[in-house]
Amino acid sequence: MTSFWSLWVIILTSLTIILVTWVLFGNRSRENPEAKTTGHVYDGIEEYDNPMPAWWFMMFVITIVFGIGYLIVYPGMGNYEGVLGWTQVKQHDKQVAAADERYRDMRDRYLALPIEEIASDPAVRKMGMRMFSNNCALCHGADAKGAYGFPNLTDDDWLYGGSPDAIKASIVHGRQAAMPPWGGILGDKGVADVSAYVMSLSGREVDPAQAEEGSKHYQTYCLACHAADGTGNPALGAPNLANGIWLYGGSMEQISHSVRAGRNGVMPAQKKLLSEDKIHILTAYVYGLSN
């Protein structure tokens, strides 16, 4: 918060407290004690000008005093941090540290065990599911079945491999996929031909002549990543084009768009967000989804 807005909040808050206090005490007693009514008459009924009950008045006073004390002890007046120096971030970190300390022994016990061994443990799955919901479900879905552009983690099709080590590497370091655009090199006809050939790799019916032309381009531009038979390369994150599973859709239009414009997928690294033991448990959960 800038100094201007900090000063604005301090002044506005202070004036509000002063005004409320003045209104409360200013109406505590009447100027003319003899006056029993306000002078207002409604349908023959006069409104009495009785003072506020003492207990009610004191409740307001206590509230004001409490509010002033709160603003002294805790932050609330612009950039003033309060005498205790309390913040939501510090409170959150304190509670997280307490929880980590409470469950550290249990997580360390699991950390010492192989992922394959703990993947079916009910306690591990419960903890892993919560971590997945907090960190992964936004992209991969609550059921981990993915969405357009986000891999399904419940099948046996893995871009970078489905072994425990490969899954953990993806979680720890993240992934940066890069499918270069070929539209400028192949032209519209070349893109259509390659797309037809790619569709044929998974056994779909296409124009044989068009697929034959596309095969030539495939051998020149696509083979290095996707392999001669289209089964892909996990080391590069190049998807398998022959199993009928499509990350960005398998229609002619969608495949043509991938060839023409390329694709760029990002899996953010979690190593700065999750501790080693949490990543181990999360890896076991993801591994168990397809095993």
CB atoms within 10 A of CB 214: 27
- Cβ neighbors of 260 (< 8 A, separation 6 or more) are 181, 182, 183, 186, 191
d(CA 59, CA 14): 20
Q: Is 91 helix (H, G, I), strand (E, B) or coil?
A: helix
Question: CA-CA distance, 153 to 286, in Å (whole number)?
Answer: 7
Burial of 226 (0-12, 13-18, 19+ CB in 10 A): buried
Retrieve residue 164's tokens: 């425990």
Is 106 annotated as a binding-site member?
no
Asked if residue 235 lies in contact with residue 170, where contact means CB atoms within 8 angstroms, the answer is no
Q: Is 112 left (phi over 0), alpha (psi -120 to 50) or beta?
A: alpha
Task: Report d(CA 194, CA 252) in Å as an integer.
Answer: 10
What is the spatial distance between Cα 69 and Cα 82, in angstroms, rounded to a whole number? Answer: 10
173 known member of a binding site: no
The verdict on whether residue 252 carries a ligand-binding annotation is no
Closest residue by Cα to residue 224 from 175, 174, 180 = 180
179 is in an annotated binding site: yes
Q: Which residues have C-beta within 8 Å of that of residue 213, sequence separation ≥ 6?
A: 193, 197
136 among annotated binding-site residues = yes
Tell me how far apart the alpha carbons of residues 76 and 70 are, in angstroms, rounded to a whole number: 8
Annotated binding-site residue? 226: yes
Residue 140 assigned ligand-binding role: yes
Residue 131 counted as an annotated binding residue: no
List residues forming the annotated binding site for heme c: 136, 139-140, 179, 222, 225-226, 267
List residues forming the annotated binding site: 136, 139-140, 179, 222, 225-226, 267
